Structure 1
Amino acid sequence: MRTNPTPALLVLEDGSVWRGKGFGATATRIGEVVFCTAMTGYEEALTDPSYQGQILVLTATQIGNTGITTEDGESAHPQVAGFVIRESTPVVSNCRAQAELPSWLNAAGVPAIEGLDTRALVRRLRDAGAMRGAISNDPGETPESLLAAARGAPDMSGANLADSAGPEDPHQPSEGLNGWWDGARDMPMGRPPHAGRPFRVVALDCGAKRTIFKHLVDRGCEVHALPPNSTPEAIRALQPEGLFISNGPGDPAAVDQAILTLKEVAGEVPTFGICLGHQLLSLALGAETTKMKFGHRGANQPVHASGRGRIEITSQNHGFCVEAASLEAAGCVITHRHVNDGTVAGFRHESLPISAVQYHPEASPGPHDSAYLFDDFVSQMAEARS
């Protein structure tokens, strides 16, 4: 439990100064300031590689109640540049917890701030759009120095963060869901894992969440994860039965090598993309992407699945989207749309076995409405095998 918190500052590039109490690491960090409306799953959010280079604001009023449990993380350590909340609880009530939030952030070098009006902050970001900012627990920093740092921070547009968020070397994830998902298999969209010979799936790992690979492994896939800058030859050498493109941070249009690779190999075998993978596949097919005003980040985002005739509640984390007209001109059918603003949330190619969604069917955190998409991917591979 922390004592005697120091004053802390968050300064946005528009000049607004937000004062609070510091916890976590004593440090100064810059990044794009974004907000997430999920009410649960702060550990999963903090460890999601898609948040690399960003200062994350949570709208939930109290954070830290369940501590930190390493097996729940989506990567090995926090990925955010900084963390902003209304209140950090001094009490951890979770028998599985292995650490408290403040000490965990401190060990990872992540500064955090609490005690400010996060709802007012989110309204500013909603109205003006995501902004660059600087966060600091360092008593030597001033609002003026942090404003200069914020305005000097690199813009997210044009930033290739996927190459650094992804692995340097190939790896083979082998952990499944370990039984916790069994109850969900009773839901209408669930099916038992494939029981035959494993499907060999090559994944372009642009900063994948662990739970995505767990879902693939749980469904009978042998996953070979490659760095995002891998060549077509590296993918074909593994003789995949399926190709998966993961989530990740940054501007999709800046991930040049992945786009070039996908132009060659996408659709040679059943191909499925999630989040950044959705954007990279779209770009490889000739569509265009654009930066959103403040993005979609939360665990209760409604999506209309036109092919299934229903609304799905989804988990989302993205600041870029695909232009609908350019996607249709590239020979794709829009299968999912975001209910709130009509942006593209999923597509399939008219003639190639390529499909993708802009959101996270694995959730973590969030609802399981879209878990069937992993089953659909496995079914496509089974059909191709037969």
Structure 2
Amino acid sequence: MKYQAKRKAIILLEDGTIFYGKAVGNKEGNAVGEVCFNTGMTGYQEIFTDPSYYGQLMVTTNAHIGNYGTNEEENESDSAKIAGLICKNFSYTPSRPASDKSLEDFLTENNIFAISDVDTRALVTYIRENGAMNAIISTDVEDIEKLQEKLKTVPDMNGLELASKVSTKEPYFFGNENASLKIAALDVGIKTNILRNLAQRDAYIKVFPYDASYEEMKEWNPDGYFLSNGPGDPQPLDNAIKVTKTIIENDHPLFGICLGHQIIAIANGIKTYKMHHGHRGINHPVKNLITGKGEITSQNHGFSVDKEQTENHPDVEITHICLNDGTVGGLAMKSKNTFSVQYHPEASPGPHDASYLFDEFIERIKKVKA
């Protein structure tokens, strides 16, 4: 990229606070959404294509973004899902031989506006102290009042249903059709690497839209059911909650991750709540209360399950605890074949400490099928 003066850009938070930066690629533009941050040192492409980040402005805390380009095989969905990108140093020239395009080209193709040269340490500190909030990033730096008016139109993440924005429109299959197990997955924002993990364990998966009925899923005669990760507030997902209740009532093997974990909690009458600034990174410590072992995990969520209600539920036990703040990391039902975790055992990117959870799901299915 030839040197040229970078176009000025700003981040305007809903409380009126302003941070300054420069537009990536010298482009004009703006983007709105809830501003959040991810502390991962790698895996930016997987983050940007993770449907769970739909509607969010992503602040990357790693100082350098774009240095290894992108590779189509590493996408977690069919396109970038973030609302916009905020970073410190943006690398225009990738140095990895395996990359098929630069991050700049990737963002342009996906129509994602990005700004760099931001004091991300100061911005992240501000979010940690004041909480996640809506924001706008823009090159229209002279008209703050206009940006403030636009920002007022952005809906609050609390109570916002977003699964319909990222779910598949039609059912599709993943894996080997001759596999020994069949799993029906309800897609409320599923990551491709979750499907890969299930397929690698001799499972054939049929992925259903977020609004699919239990009868539609049951008609395929699956051996087990899966509830995916996804964006937004779980409370408005009436159909997913209804389907989950029916799966539980019929005692089918059921595994939920992230948003799926929250849906399972709600199906059991346990409330969820909007967190102050959420968990997003690839080094979050979790304790497995069943084995007593610690796990380093990949996490991405802005909502959590009410711990007190979970502890007091007669048929639900907490299986994992997030050690940074004591929030619920996993749960299981005592009388039903249902369990879930708040974090990402597929860890793309991240550590593989929790990949055993996929093995546990497969073993639960095999025991029922035997």
Q: TM range, normalised to the smaller chain?
A: over 0.9
SS at match of 1:8: strand
User: Of the candidates 186, 190, 193, which is equivalent to residue 204 of structure 1?
Assistant: 186
User: Of the candidates 300, 320, 323, which is equivalent to residue 339 of structure 1?
Assistant: 323
- Report the Cα offset of residue 9 of structure 1: 1.6
Aligned to 1:304: 287
- Report the Cα offset of residue 156 of structure 1: 0.3
Whether contact under 8 Å (1:6, 1:21) holds in the other structure is yes
Distance 1:369 1:307 in 2: 15
Whether contact under 8 Å (1:44, 1:72) holds in the other structure is yes
User: Of the candidates 205, 214, 236, which is equivalent to residue 223 of structure 1?
Assistant: 205
TM-score by length of 2: 0.96
Whether contact under 8 Å (1:133, 1:151) holds in the other structure is no
The answer as to 2:214 corresponding to 1:236 is no
SS at match of 1:250: coil
Distance 2:240 2:336 in 1: 19
- Report the Cα offset of residue 77 of structure 1: 1.4
Letter in 1 for 2:129: D
Distance 1:92 1:51 in 2: 24
Aligned to 2:346: 362
User: Larger deviation: 98-107 or 56-65?
Assistant: 98-107
Aligned to 2:227: 245
Distance 1:31 1:213 in 2: 28
Aligned to 2:359: 375
| 1:93-128 deviation digits (Å, cap 9, x = unpaired) | 111111111121112111101001000000110000
- Report the Cα offset of residue 197 of structure 1: 4.9
How many residue pairs match? The answer is 366
The answer as to 2:15 corresponding to 1:32 is no
- Report the Cα offset of residue 3 of structure 1: 4.7
Letter in 2 for 1:347: L
- Report the Cα offset of residue 146 of structure 1: 1.8
Which stretches of structure 1, 4 residues or more, deviate above 3 A after TM superposition?
none
Q: CA RMSD in A?
A: 1.6
Whether contact under 8 Å (1:133, 1:147) holds in the other structure is no
Identity %: 41
> What pairs up with 1:315-334 in 2 under 5 angstroms?
315-330=298-313, 331-334=315-318
SS at match of 2:146: helix
User: Larger deviation: 314-323 or 81-90?
Assistant: 81-90
Distance 2:106 2:176 in 1: 24
Letter in 2 for 1:202: A
Residues 372 and 85 of structure 1: CA distance in aligned 2, closer, same or farther (over 3 Å): same
The answer as to 2:252 corresponding to 1:272 is no
- Report the Cα offset of residue 50 of structure 1: 0.3
Distance 1:320 1:218 in 2: 30
Residues 166 and 376 of structure 1: CA distance in aligned 2, closer, same or farther (over 3 Å): same
TM-score by length of 1: 0.92
Letter in 1 for 2:165: S
SS at match of 2:24: strand
Aligned to 1:214: 196
Letter in 2 for 1:80: I
SS at match of 1:253: coil
- Report the Cα offset of residue 379 of structure 1: 0.5
User: Larger deviation: 339-348 or 3-12?
Assistant: 3-12
User: Larger deviation: 241-250 or 196-205?
Assistant: 196-205
Structure 1: any 5+ residue segments left out of the alignment? 177-195
Distance 1:151 1:337 in 2: 36
User: Of the candidates 260, 275, 280, which is equivalent to residue 292 of structure 1?
Assistant: 275
